[in-house]
Copies of this chain bind each other. A is one copy, B any other.
Amino acid sequence: MCNQVEIRLSGSGGQGLILGGIILAEAALMDDKEAVQSQSYGPEARGGASKAEVIISDCAIHYPKVQKCDVLLSLTQKSCDKYLSNLKENGTLIIDESVELPEYDNNYKIHRMPILKTATKDIGRSMVANIVALGALNEIVKVVSDDSLEKAILNRVPRGTENLNRSAFESGKKITLKKE
């Protein structure tokens, strides 16, 4: 049987979520899994909410398959409001603490944590929010190994920012302790 996880990373443009998706997919490849990373640009990409998609699987991905996702990360209210209906019943919702808990009919596993504040205040750079988010997300859903994820992050971030991003990754793992 194949274990396949569909993940959507959502937020506003400029939060580095495409890069986040690429890093997650490259980490999966290092773990000998298969992955497909994709991004749609169209009317829905306008207006401030953006999303990147990653499918990670133990076996061949019979892509394309348009379906609801297992995991949704939302760094902004707008992106959460927009994409929440794409999350499966009993799926995992990971939101920044600035996002109001949405009204919903379905059951979700909700994790709410200070992703943006950790990037800005603890690390001192808002641009590492995507890496804080990856650390948190993988701590919760464990789709790839920690080692591969760290390696994939360090392969992709701009030279000279490795230590900053390593700290962001570690902080992301630690902020997952509180669950709502």
Taken together, the copies of this chain in the complex come to 2
Complex formed: what's the CA distance from A18 to B18 in Å?
Answer: 11
* A22-B18, A158-B158 known; A42 vs B64 contact (CB < 8 Å): no
Q: How many residues on A have C-beta within 8 angstroms of the other chain's C-beta atoms? A: 25
Complex formed: what's the CA distance from A122 to B39 in Å?
Answer: 33
Chain A: interface secondary structure? mixed
Assess the A61–B36 pair: CB atoms within 8 A.
Answer: no
Write out the residue numbers on chain B whose beta carbons fall within 8 Å of the beta carbon of A29. 41-42, 45-46
Interface CB pairs A-B, < 8 A, 14 = A25-B41, A29-B45, A35-B41, A36-B39, A36-B40, A36-B41, A37-B38, A38-B38, A38-B39, A42-B60, A64-B64, A64-B65, A64-B66, A158-B158
A residues near B, CB below 8 A?
Answer: 18, 22, 25-26, 28-29, 34-43, 45-46, 60-61, 63-66, 158
